[in-house]
């Protein structure tokens, strides 16, 4: 789809995968005016193809677009774009345990000019890639590096938007994590409250069953997290979205008040956090049953193995 100031959204097409021609002065290449989404298509045992809460991704894309001064794509167009792609690429949706087709909708400024202002010509695309099981031989706990130096986002910044610049800013801290033999980075805000990992939200389970997750204007609102917390609320857990300081995390684990820490996102669904490592400490993290049992319930819904009682699935084929 193309958007222009004069014509709005127009010219939907499905073309074979290949390079996109861009003017070297296209605004996205210089000013990063770009937003994207990540969502999966799942094949059920009867062969039908479904996606999960696309309205949520569509609305998040609108919020991201607004922050990046890009035009908002109507949610109906968003869902329709997934259907159109599946209509030609259904064979690419794999079947089998934890297999899916990862869909990557994205929007960027195509207009060629060198001044700094919102572009008047924008493109919206969807590409797809088959995704195998994220874990082989069971879900493995990840090790997390505490980034003391770098922030992922700031107040009033673009932290809540899914825009490339946030990910660009997370690459250097991510390399620091690898150098310290960790899988992922966890970011703090300027008050040393826990934000999120580079591509996943963080959730804490307390001894009394309360589930706490960091919430702020600079955290990307994960759809996996929202769904897992709804499933946990259905089971009677009390859910709190609030600030969690690094101190609360570390002392809660040390005292046994926090009984599980896990991360969640579309790609890995749920992964327990096994170790939190900083410049001068290594804290083993408690892992437990709740993360894995919520993961099982969510994937059972996504793959059509149990009833979709929240009506989260949307059929993409037929």
Please name the residue that has the structure tokens 């073309």: 15
Is 54 a binding residue for ligand PMP by CB under 6 A? The answer is no
Is 224 a binding residue for ligand PMP by CB under 6 A? The answer is yes
Given the rule CB under 6 A, which of 88-96, 215-223, 230-238, 286-294 is the region that contacts ligand PMP?
215-223
Is 164 a binding residue for ligand PMP by CB under 6 A? The answer is no
Pick from 2, 29, 32, 38: which binds ligand PMP (CB under 6 A)? Answer: 38
Pick from 220, 258, 261, 270: which binds ligand PMP (CB under 6 A)? Answer: 220
Q: Which residues ranging from 262 to 301 are in contact with ligand PMP (CB under 6 A)?
A: 265-266
How far CA 214 is from CA of 80, 186, 268, 291, in Å, comes to: 33, 12, 19, 17
Site string for ligand PMP, 65-104 (x = CB under 6 A): ----------------------------------------
CA-CA distance, 76 to 44, in Å (whole number)? 23
- By CB under 6 A, the count of residues binding ligand PMP is 12
CB of 4 to ligand PMP, least distance (A): 29
**CB-side neighbour CA atoms (13 Å) of 148:** 6
Closer to ligand PMP by Cβ: residue 129 or 251: 129
Closer to ligand PMP by Cβ: residue 119 or 220: 220
What is the DSSP pairing of strand 39-43 with strand 239-242?
unpaired
Given the rule CB under 6 A, which of 26-34, 79-87, 194-202, 245-253 is the region that contacts ligand PMP?
194-202
How far CA 284 is from CA of 57, 236, 258, in Å, comes to: 34, 28, 12
CB of 267 to ligand PMP, least distance (A): 7
Residue 209's φ and ψ, nearest 5 degrees, are 95, -10
Q: Are 141 and 272 in contact (CB under 8 A)?
A: yes
Q: Which two tokens stand for residue 145?
A: 């590096």
Please name the residue that has the structure tokens 């990910």: 167
CA-CA distance, 318 to 315, in Å (whole number)? 8
Pick from 65, 200, 273, 294: which binds ligand PMP (CB under 6 A)? Answer: 200
- DSSP letter for 139, please: P
Q: Are 314 and 54 in contact (CB under 8 A)?
A: yes
Residues 6+ positions from 143 with CB-CB distance below 8 Å: 181, 182, 183, 184, 273, 274, 275, 277
Is 202 a binding residue for ligand PMP by CB under 6 A? The answer is no
Is 51 a binding residue for ligand PMP by CB under 6 A? The answer is no
Given the rule CB under 6 A, which of 25-33, 113-121, 220-228, 236-244 is the region that contacts ligand PMP?
220-228
Closer to ligand PMP by Cβ: residue 201 or 287: 201
Q: How many CB atoms lie within 10 A of CB 74?
A: 12
Given the rule CB under 6 A, which of 82-90, 111-119, 193-201, 282-290 is the region that contacts ligand PMP?
193-201
Kindly list the residues in this chain that would bind ligand PMP in the complex (CB under 6 A). 38, 196, 199-201, 220, 222-225, 265-266
């Amino acid at each position: 789809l193309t958007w222009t100031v004069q014509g709005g959204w127009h010219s939907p097409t499905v073309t074979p995968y290949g390079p996109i021609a861009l003017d070297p002065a296209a605004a996205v290449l210089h000013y990063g005016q770009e937003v994207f989404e990540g969502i999966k298509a799942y094949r059920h045992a009867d062969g039908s193809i479904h996606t999960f809460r696309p309205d949520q991704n569509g609305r998040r894309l609108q919020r991201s677009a607004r922050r990046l001064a890009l035009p908002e794509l109507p949610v109906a167009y968003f869902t329709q774009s997934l259907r159109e792609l599946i209509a030609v690429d259904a064979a690419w949706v794999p079947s089998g345990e934890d297999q899916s087709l990862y869909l990557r909708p994205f929007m960027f400024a195509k207009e060629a000019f060198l001044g700094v202002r919102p572009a008047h010509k924008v493109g919206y695309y969807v590409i797809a890639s088959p995704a195998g099981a994220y874990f082989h031989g069971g879900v493995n706990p990840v090790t997390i590096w505490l980034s003391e130096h770098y922030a992922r986002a700031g107040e009033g910044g673009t932290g809540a938007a899914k825009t490339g610049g946030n990910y660009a800013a997370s690459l250097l801290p991510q390399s620091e994590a690898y150098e310290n033999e960790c899988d992922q980075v966890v970011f703090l805000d300027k008050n040393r409250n826990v934000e999120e990992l580079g591509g996943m939200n963080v959730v804490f389970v307390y001894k009394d069953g309360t589930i706490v997750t960091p919430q702020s204007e600079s955290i990307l609102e994960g759809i996996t997290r929202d769904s897992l917390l709804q499933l946990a609320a259905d089971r009677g857990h009390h859910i709190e979205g609030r600030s969690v300081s690094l101190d609360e995390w570390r002392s809660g684990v040390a005292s046994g008040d926090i009984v599980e820490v896990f991360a969640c996102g579309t790609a890995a669904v749920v992964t327990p956090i096994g170790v939190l490592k900083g410049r001068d400490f290594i804290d083993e993290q408690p892992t437990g049953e709740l993360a894995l049992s919520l993961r099982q319930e969510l994937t059972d819904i996504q793959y059509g193995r149990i009833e979709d009682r929240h009506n989260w699935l949307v059929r993409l084929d037929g």
